[in-house]
Structure 1
Amino acid sequence: MRNLARVFVLVMLVLLVLSATVLAQDKFEIVMVAKHEGISWFDDMRTGVEEFGKDHEDVTSYQIAPEGGDPAKQVQMVEDLIAKGVDAILVVPNDPKSMIPVIKKAKDAGIIVISHEAEELKGIVDYDMEAFRNEDFGVLMFESLGREMNYEGEYVGMVGALTMQTHMQWFQAGHDYAAEKYPNMKFILQEPVEDFNTEQTAYNKARELLRTYPNIKGMFGCSASSTIMQAQAVEERGLQEQVAVVGLTLPSMSKTYLESGSLRQAQCWRPADAGYVCAMIAYKVLKGEPLETGISLGKEGYESVTVEDGIIYGNAPLVLTKENVNDFPF
């Protein structure tokens, strides 16, 4: 009888191990490939991606990103995920064009691909997700810039890179809006300055711009790094009254500068929510659930999205001022 009991226990242990293995294999593996490792924006996005996995027992979700925001390294990360055989890849590309061949390879391997900040990839990915219509976000940025400049004078500004589609959409829409509506505002560069999402680069270039163009009245930032470093450079030179800085950044990064006046107004969307929503889209595709205009994707600003020509639009812009910056926990 003792031998039978031992055999029974061993059989049960084997069955438990096999059951756990099957359950692990049944989990969807959803991976976000973000732009840049080690910066606040994508640290916050990681929390949303991981939260999605905690909320869904049949999902393992996590985030990776290249050091330095290198597009080639980002492509290699996607290649590695294809080789691993993950179920879905979420990507915020540094250079959407350079990502096209590897995305097609992932799709050919049966992997769901969802992009963010990359409308250019519609029709190539399963869906692109935008927190809002990018043209509207750019107009919002340049309207605040115009107001703070009293709608006249010279201005300059930065993007993460000229290859970053959303940054260039914001700039172009905002620039065109200002040129038409406020003709006394003058953008005095040939194109925006690139900061490569790196604070030291943004800081050095902001100081150089202030030295080179002493008459500027405004600066805009399309990356969180550029906005904050422009504000810091302005503050260090005591130019808060003369030079208006506006742009993209996070509440936690902008609080000090908004309160000092070196940053007049900021705007953003919650990176964690964007990561969560991208994972939700991939999950619904994997489950064969429909994605239609009006559907809720589980986060504020995405309660009734618009699905249009392969792009899913939320309505989740946030405007940050010294009066409200403490209301946001990220």
Structure 2
Amino acid sequence: MRILSALLLSGSLLASPAAFAQTTWTGGDDQATSPLACDASVTPVPPGDYNGGTPTGAPDRKGKALKVVDIPKLVGVGYFNSTAQGVQSAAKETGNMTVTTDGPTKANIDEQITFIDNYITSGVDGILFAANDPVAIAPVLKRALEAGINVVGYDADAEADARQWFVNQAQPNGVAKALMDQLASEIGEEGSFAIVTSTFTTPNQARWIAEMTAYSAKCHPKLKFLETVEAQEDNILSFNQAQTLINKYGDELKGIVGMTSVATPAASEAVQQNKLCGKVSVVGLALPNAMKPYINNDCIKSTVLWSTVDLGYAAGLAMRAVADGTLKPGDTTFKAGRLGDLQIVNQSQILLGAPKVFTKTDINNFDF
């Protein structure tokens, strides 16, 4: 595990006996945090001045057919298969937008940059993306803007001026609250837990972990954090990392928090294979369909997420609206078809809503 000084953590780890209140690095970023009140629901941050980018010399695309490429972190996993489904739904609804989903088969930023670069060269009207690294991806997205291409992000953002808008599935502090409240309810206020994330540079997961740090210190101060491990959004590696945590900590390990839609079911499988159902909880972000086997057989109690189909759908509609000029700087809401009016927050983000906790009582009502 990495060790950082308290200065580098700059307030993310509080000087208290809280879950993360130690010098052990959690995998979170070092940006300022804004933990919600312990008994409060998610309160969206009102928008300020627009801080997104602007395409250079973009042609008039209002009402015209659009050729769009969707480049997620990786292809071939359930999470991004379902966001792609949502994007296609938006394309069908608008009737004049063709979208191709393409990208690396592993969450590799260098490969993702290559895909984007190739599509800039081949020529597209719009690029949808979910970033593997917010800083590393920014230069190629800026090249797209300079080429007059509309750029909209979803799921994992880039630097704000490298895209026009970002569809945010949930406020980071809202994700943190949902995960940590659920974890504490399952393992108790003094339980020990570890985190399985994708990579330490994946922007949304690092932001969620930083907010989890602050929220836990404030609202669940006796939870004990053990360590964070990387699993690259790879099913086998995620299982092996969970297995390693089980072997390493034994009875001390009461919970595993999965930060990806791959890590959470893989950790659940590791718990089940080790006959630890009811002894080690898995709380994390995952598609309901992937978690149904573990929740329906009472091995795992819950999973936390948002509608990934709706996330892709909102991103697709945002792309059409940007091209048409109906989504523009200064707007405070975005008309998102069947989703109704979505709030614009953080200067250039469209907020999908608060995360949901799926349990055995309702998980079978959802199919994604």
TM over 0.5: yes
Using the alignment, how far apart are the partners of 2:198 and 2:344 within structure 1?
27
Give yes or no for contact 1:86–1:111 (8 Å, CA) kept in 2.
yes
Give yes or no for contact 2:130–2:157 (8 Å, CA) kept in 1.
no
Q: 1:95 to 1:210 in 2, by over 3 A?
A: same
User: Which amino acid counterpart does residue 242 of structure 2 have in structure 1?
Assistant: A
Q: Residue in 1 aligned with 2:332?
A: 293
| Identity between Structure 1 and Structure 2 (%) | 26
Structure 2, unmatched stretches of 5+, are 1-62
Structure 2 residue corresponding to 1:49, chosen from 61, 73, 87: 87
Q: Of the two structures, which has the highest relative contact order with CA contacts closer than 8 Å and spacing of 6 or more?
A: 2
Runs of 4+ residues over 4 Å off in structure 1: none
Using the alignment, how far apart are the partners of 1:262 and 1:164 within structure 2?
29
Q: Residue in 2 aligned with 1:205?
A: 241
1:184-223 equivalence runs, <5 A: 184-189=222-227, 192-214=228-250, 215-223=252-260
User: Which amino acid counterpart does residue 45 of structure 1 have in structure 2?
Assistant: T
User: Which amino acid counterpart does residue 275 of structure 1 have in structure 2?
Assistant: G
Give yes or no for contact 1:49–1:63 (8 Å, CA) kept in 2.
no
Aligned residues: 303
Give yes or no for contact 2:131–2:203 (8 Å, CA) kept in 1.
no
Q: Residue in 2 aligned with 1:153?
A: 191
Moved more, 171-180 or 215-224: 171-180
Give yes or no for contact 1:156–1:218 (8 Å, CA) kept in 2.
yes
Using the alignment, how far apart are the partners of 1:193 and 1:298 within structure 2?
39
Q: 1:82 to 1:165 in 2, by over 3 A?
A: same
Give yes or no for contact 1:44–1:272 (8 Å, CA) kept in 2.
yes
CA offsets 1:126-170 (integer angstroms, 9 cap, x no match) = 011102212111111011001111111211011111111111122
State the Cα distance separating 1:181 from its structure 2 match.
Answer: 2.1
Using the alignment, how far apart are the partners of 1:268 and 1:119 within structure 2?
18
User: Which amino acid counterpart does residue 109 of structure 1 have in structure 2?
Assistant: A
The residue matched to 2:342 in structure 1 has which SS? coil
Using the alignment, how far apart are the partners of 2:347 and 2:126 within structure 1?
20
Q: 1:86 to 1:206 in 2, by over 3 A?
A: same
1:228-267 equivalence runs, <5 A: 228-267=265-304
Q: Residue in 2 aligned with 1:22?
A: none
Moved more, 173-182 or 273-282: 173-182
Q: Residue in 2 aligned with 1:112?
A: 150
Give yes or no for contact 1:134–1:170 (8 Å, CA) kept in 2.
yes
Give yes or no for contact 1:121–1:128 (8 Å, CA) kept in 2.
no
Using the alignment, how far apart are the partners of 2:367 and 2:191 within structure 1?
35
TM-score by length of 1: 0.87
Q: 1:173 to 1:299 in 2, by over 3 A?
A: farther
State the Cα distance separating 1:246 from its structure 2 match.
Answer: 0.5
Give yes or no for contact 1:30–1:90 (8 Å, CA) kept in 2.
yes
The residue matched to 1:217 in structure 2 has which SS? strand
User: Which amino acid counterpart does residue 245 of structure 1 have in structure 2?
Assistant: V
* CA RMSD after TM alignment: 1.7
CA offsets 1:276-318 (integer angstroms, 9 cap, x no match) = 2112111111111134223321243x63322431122121522
Q: Residue in 1 aligned with 2:52?
A: none
Q: Residue in 2 aligned with 1:12?
A: none
Structure richer in helix, relative to its length:
1
Q: Residue in 2 aligned with 1:21?
A: none
2:88 is equivalent to residue 70 of structure 1: no
Q: Residue in 2 aligned with 1:103?
A: 141
Using the alignment, how far apart are the partners of 1:262 and 1:158 within structure 2?
19
Q: Residue in 2 aligned with 1:134?
A: 172
Q: Residue in 1 aligned with 2:310?
A: 273
Using the alignment, how far apart are the partners of 2:210 and 2:346 within structure 1?
22
Give yes or no for contact 2:138–2:158 (8 Å, CA) kept in 1.
no
Q: Residue in 1 aligned with 2:36?
A: none
Using the alignment, how far apart are the partners of 1:212 and 1:169 within structure 2?
27
